[in-house]
Amino acid sequence: MGKRLFYRACRDVAEGEPGEADPEVVPLAHKVAGARSDTGGAQTREDLEEHVIRECADEFISALGDVEEQTWDKVVLGSETAVLVEFWVSWCGPCRLMHPIIADLAKAYVGKLRCLMVVTDQNQEVAMRYDIRSIPTILIFKDCERKETVTGTIANTALAATVDRFL
């Protein structure tokens, strides 16, 4: 889902009319709409929207683990369970939209799937090794090898279906 559609869903929920908003986005849109009272010093609508997404996304980041170049082989390739890794950077709005979706997957697949995050600009060697050219990019690993690559935003049901293929 694009940023504009996400913002529209947030606006519709805030106005009490979710209408045609994607049902997968409505729970996060409710969260965003509830957070709009805290403006974070934003002066424009765009600044406010960025602030709200940043604040909401930060809450979900804590549900995910971080992995770095130094720990990659042990944590990702050495994992006994399937591993989902999101390559992201802090200034990427679509990346932050994916955080709650991935956090929900982490909770739903406890013991079956490990969800991790790589800050791409701080771990460029790993990003180059896996040819990461766009963010967000999600890689799914199982049995020490990459099984799937997803680039861009993706609905939670579609990502869950992708993960299910490897569990």
The region, left, alpha or beta by phi > 0 then psi within -120 to 50, assigned to residue 111 is left
DSSP letter at 75? I
**CATH 3.40.30.10 in the chain, residue ranges:** 63-164
pLDDT recorded at residue 17? 62
C-alpha span between 6 and 4 (Å, rounded):
5
Residues 6+ apart with CB under 8 A from 71: none
Whole-angstrom CA distances from 50 to 10, 46, 102, 124 are 12, 6, 20, 26
Q: Mean pLDDT for each 10-residue chunk of the chain (167 residues)?
A: 52 58 55 50 56 51 70 91 93 88 87 91 94 96 96 94 95
For residue 81, give the nearest of 44, 98, 106, 56 by alpha carbon: 106
User: What is the fold of 63-164?
Assistant: Glutaredoxin (3.40.30)
Residues with a catalytic annotation lie at 92, 95
